[in-house]
């Protein structure tokens, strides 16, 4: 919700909670995934992310008992990587994606990561805008990153500390 030049939490965001993803969430997560990506991850990929090894974060956004968004991330050797983020199309544009990115950054830097990375298709305008809003910068291009489409991806990074 936008008032003047400032985004303020709308009613849906205020009532949305973030909690760890569990296997019982996967039907909803997969439904959103299929609505969000031309080549969605399958259940096995998410189950792999959910294996507790101290290096992954898998969270969902829940509105009135319904999963409406999610992200998964890895934390390895001082770096964190946002692997997946998706919001139910019926709930986009209301700050849920921003809240998830905020959580990714806070939990990554909070556990000591120096850098956060992600890859995003070069033609994914909404996602690029979301990441740039949080200070991610393009640091490279991976050619033909998405095998099925041949689309290139930007590598984006946000550092914990600004470079002097």
The one among 126, 140, 141, 149 contacting ligand COA by CB under 6 A: 126
Residue 124 interacts with ligand COA (CB under 6 A)? yes
Listed ranges 48-56, 103-111, 127-135, 142-150: which one lies at the site for ligand COA (CB under 6 A): 127-135
- Out of 63, 70, 71, 131, the active site residue is 131
Active site residue 48: no
CA dist list (Å): 162 to 82, 110, 113, 115, 119: 20, 16, 14, 11, 21
- DSSP conformational letter for 8: -
Active site residue 39: no
What one-character-per-residue DSSP string does 15-80 give? TEEEEE--GGGHHHHHHHHHHH-SS---HHHHHHHHS-SSSEEEEEEEETTEEEEEEEEEEETTEE
Locus of tokens 């905020």: 102
- DSSP conformational letter for 92: T
Element (H, E) at 97: helix 96-110
Listed ranges 17-25, 102-110, 120-128, 156-164: which one lies at the site for ligand COA (CB under 6 A): 120-128
Residue 127 interacts with ligand COA (CB under 6 A)? yes
Site for ligand COA in 1-60 (CB under 6 A): 7, 36
**x/- letters, 66..105, toward ligand COA (CB under 6 A):** -------------------xxx----xxxxxxx-------
Element (H, E) at 128: helix 125-133
- Residue ranges binding ligand COA (CB under 6 A): 7, 36, 85-87, 92-98, 120, 124-127, 129-130, 133
Residues taking part in catalysis: 119, 131
């Amino acid at each position: 919700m936008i008032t003047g030049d400032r985004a303020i939490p709308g009613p849906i965001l205020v009532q949305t909670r973030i909690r760890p993803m569990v296997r019982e969430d996967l039907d909803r997560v997969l439904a959103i995934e299929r609505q969000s990506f031309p080549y969605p991850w399958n259940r096995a990929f998410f189950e792999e992310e959910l294996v507790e090894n101290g290096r992954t974060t898998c969270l969902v956004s829940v509105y009135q008992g319904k999963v409406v968004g999610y992200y998964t991330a890895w934390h390895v050797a001082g770096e964190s990587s946002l692997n997946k983020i998706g919001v139910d199309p019926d709930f986009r544009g209301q700050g849920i994606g921003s809240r998830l990115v905020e959580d990714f950054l806070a939990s990554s830097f909070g556990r000591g990561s120096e850098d956060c990375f992600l890859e995003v298709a070069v033609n994914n305008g909404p996602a690029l805008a979301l990441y740039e809003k949080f200070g991610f910068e393009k640091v490279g291009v991976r050619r033909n990153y998405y095998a099925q489409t041949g689309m290139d991806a930007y590598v984006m990074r946000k550092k914990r500390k600004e470079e002097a």
